[in-house]
Structure 1
Amino acid sequence: MPTPIIATIKPFYQELKPGQKILWCSCGRSKRQPFCDGRSHIGTGLEPVLYQAKQDEEVLLCGCKHSGTAPFCDGTHSNLPGGYVDETEAVAAATLPAVVAPDTQGFARLDGRCYVVSPGFSVADRATDYRLRPLVTPALGAAHQSQFYLELDRGASPVFTADGDVVIWLSHGEGNAIIGGRNFPFSGGCGVHVVAGETFRLEGQNIAAYVSVCPAVETLETVDAIIDGFDESMADRLGLIDKAARSAMGPRYFQILLDDHHGLDNSALFIGHIPMSKAEMHRHLYEEALIILSGEGMIWNENARAKVCAGDVIFFPRKHIHSLQALSPEGMDVVGFIHPGTNPGINYY
């Protein structure tokens, strides 16, 4: 197959209207990037790709010309020569925005709707075996997802249900996830998918869990008891860590734990590792709740910084420019839930 040349490493952001047609340059030689100029591909053996929008769409058109999902970016650029660049210490030190301290509720707000939250509980809260705290909700600035932090010392949580997908990251603990009458044993460090409308609860001891819901809700709805009604069409509910399933993203890596292959609707749960470094400023088309599993670091945007450590959650609105810096020599491990979108390896300037 003919080999295209790299026009740009990062993708091109475009807004498309219903019925709008574009002719994407596949050869990398066009003078009208990311579109074909009608002549530069002649003789290359590479033809432009026609795409017609079906609705109002925000898309990232591949600039490296090596994507496997042409004309759209699939993150391949991160693994091409020069495709993943960490910000240099000199650039990072040139402008040091102020460090935002957390408020009395544990929220450090960078600007707009982006924030870091430390989901601790007070001594009074810990008088009971079960605790629940909202971390990401529409009232806190989210548009597409919610997240709640759940702690269970022993016994059983209330029975919950939601009109949308529920994705649980079981950070630690041992027990069972009861979903629609079906029992799923766990021992920390895995994801769980609950289909919209199913009832669920957690049972066990020393459980810490991050419960995500999309579309976004203000609270987790409770019911009196588990209702039999497990969706047999999606029987694979656990997202287990598998080192062989990692995807490289330059010096970083991630593994998808749960996505549309598990029945989710345009969302994904992933686990990843960030070596000691600072990423270049970038944006995503998805909304993200990022859980810090280990290590310490700093989240940056153009006007502020905030410290992050294990247990914290960073909330990123769509299109919010940011950079995550890992400061620990051993790096930082993270778990993220993204929606709308399924590929954490896609970003743009």
Structure 2
Amino acid sequence: MADAVVASRKPFYKELQAGRSYLWCACGRSKRQPFCDGRSHEGTGIDPVKYTAAVDREEVLFCGCKQTATPPFCDGAHSNLPGGYADEAEIVEDLPWAESDAAGVRVLDGHCYVIRADATRPADAPDWWCRTIVSTDMGAQHQAQFYAELTSGRSPVLASAAGDVVLWVVGGAGEVEISGRGFAIACDTGVYVRAGEAFRFTQSGTATLAVHIHACPATQMLDTLDTMPGNFDTAWPDRLASVDESQRHAMGPRYFQLLVDKRVGSTTATQFIGHIPQSRAEMHRHLYEEALVILSGDGVIWNDGARARVAAGDVIFFPRKHRHSLQCTATDGMNVVGLIHPGDNPGINY
């Protein structure tokens, strides 16, 4: 049996017709990539893989490197091939710098933007303060994000009528109550709240409890409830995710760890933490919406028509299929936490 050969180090984006079957080339030798040409695999012992589209105009990324563990689709394996995760070769140094408005928002081309999370905090902010970072009004379709701070006491009871909620604690400590069930939280903790459940925070210690709140799909605002419901879904009792270096996945010179995902019941939204060394990735796209919170380090986000400086405390929002490149300029690298929706693998790009 021959080994599969790399036909392309990037996947092939295709829009499919409902009910039509496609034969994906698994051997890498077809002249009709990414599809089988009916003869090139003969003698290799590697048969093509059949896939039938479920819906019209279904968007897929067919694997081009033929090393995927999820055939016929890309799983990000190309990033770990020699030359698979390349630095950007075509650097345009004269792109304009995006200017910040009074709310700390720097809009790049399209609906891609950078926002300073705490830019609008008033000098006399109340114990509970929350602002919108990503919303439907700002062009999002698949996720919204809110940034909240609690200096003492309890927050209001919150919920998202749209669906699931994913939390990330960036400062302080305390408790999150999810529909009657309490969980201790601290900095660098991910939390999953299932659709239909509500949540609220209690601050403890001397530091402000600071949290990024993601609602999936996108909405304009969170709901505030009068009372906490008692409808915690006991089928999924474990809701916290913490940083674990043993769970890292390599993506070329970068790496990431999945936090909130299918293991705690989240089927369409995935939270991850990642590290980017001093580098600039080549321009690429994703099939999911993505929001990145910069935890440490600094750099530049590049789009086709603009660029913006980013640093710890900034949030970057990427629409689906929007070309971009994140450059890290810090010698110690950049740490980020991200939320993708819909999607389950932040290592897939095209």
* TM-score calculated relative to the size of structure 1: 0.97
Deviates more, 1:224-233 or 1:56-65: 224-233
1:25-44 correspondence runs (5 A):
25-44=25-44
Q: Distance in 2 between matches of 1:122 and 1:77?
A: 41
Aligned to 2:61: 60
1:137-216 correspondence runs (5 A):
137-163=135-161, 164-205=163-204, 206-216=208-218
Aligned to 1:240: 242
CA-to-aligned-CA distance 1:152-210 (integer Å, 9 cap, x gap): 11111110112300000111111001011111001211100011111110111411100
Aligned to 2:325: 323
Displacement of 1:112? 1.1
Q: Distance in 2 between matches of 1:123 and 1:11?
A: 43
Q: Distance in 2 between matches of 1:128 and 1:224?
A: 19
Q: Distance in 1 between matches of 2:327 and 2:107?
A: 17
Change (3 A) 1:287 1:123: closer
Change (3 A) 1:197 1:125: farther
Displacement of 1:216? 1.0
CA-to-aligned-CA distance 1:221-265 (integer Å, 9 cap, x gap): 011121211100011100111000000000000000011221113
Q: Distance in 2 between matches of 1:123 and 1:47?
A: 59
2:88 counterpart of 1:87:
yes
Change (3 A) 1:123 1:305: closer
8 A contact 1:276–1:330 mirrored in 2: yes
Moved over 2 A (4+): 121-127
CA-to-aligned-CA distance 1:36-59 (integer Å, 9 cap, x gap): 011111111111111101113100
SS of the aligned residue for 1:4 comes to coil
Aligned to 1:275: 277
SS of the aligned residue for 1:77 comes to helix
8 A contact 1:125–1:131 mirrored in 2: no
Deviates more, 1:198-207 or 1:58-67: 198-207
8 A contact 1:110–1:301 mirrored in 2: yes
Residue 61 of structure 1 aligns with an amino acid whose one-letter code is F
In structure 2, which of residues 299, 303, 306 is the aligned counterpart of residue 301 of structure 1? Answer: 303
Displacement of 1:95? 3.9
Aligned to 1:249: 251
* Aligned CA-pair RMSD: 1.2
8 A contact 2:100–2:106 mirrored in 1: yes
Change (3 A) 1:344 1:3: same
1:222-237 correspondence runs (5 A):
222-237=224-239
Q: Distance in 2 between matches of 1:169 and 1:60?
A: 29
Q: Distance in 2 between matches of 1:286 and 1:123?
A: 30
Change (3 A) 1:134 1:242: same
8 A contact 2:288–2:319 mirrored in 1: yes
Q: Distance in 2 between matches of 1:42 and 1:192?
A: 50
Q: Distance in 1 between matches of 2:81 and 2:94?
A: 30
Displacement of 1:124? 3.3
Displacement of 1:2? 3.7
Q: Distance in 2 between matches of 1:293 and 1:263?
A: 25
Displacement of 1:215? 1.3
Deviates more, 1:242-251 or 1:259-268: 259-268
Aligned to 2:10: 10
8 A contact 1:172–1:207 mirrored in 2: yes
SS of the aligned residue for 1:67 comes to coil
CA-to-aligned-CA distance 1:84-110 (integer Å, 9 cap, x gap): 11125xx32x54311112111111000
CA-to-aligned-CA distance 1:286-317 (integer Å, 9 cap, x gap): 00111000011100011100011101100000
Q: Distance in 2 between matches of 1:229 and 1:169?
A: 22
8 A contact 1:10–1:77 mirrored in 2: yes
1:96-115 correspondence runs (5 A):
96-115=94-113
Q: Distance in 2 between matches of 1:81 and 1:17?
A: 34
8 A contact 2:104–2:119 mirrored in 1: no
Aligned to 2:72: 71
8 A contact 1:27–1:41 mirrored in 2: yes
Displacement of 1:122? 4.6
8 A contact 2:103–2:120 mirrored in 1: no
Change (3 A) 1:275 1:126: farther
Change (3 A) 1:123 1:185: closer
Q: Distance in 2 between matches of 1:15 and 1:335?
A: 30
Aligned to 1:339: 341
Residue 68 of structure 2 aligns with an amino acid whose one-letter code is S
Q: Distance in 1 between matches of 2:193 and 2:238?
A: 10
- What is the percent sequence identity of the aligned residues? 55
Aligned residues: 345
Q: Distance in 2 between matches of 1:236 and 1:45?
A: 44
Q: Distance in 1 between matches of 2:124 and 2:216?
A: 28
* TM-score calculated relative to the size of structure 2: 0.96
CA-to-aligned-CA distance 1:66-89 (integer Å, 9 cap, x gap): 10000000001111112111125x
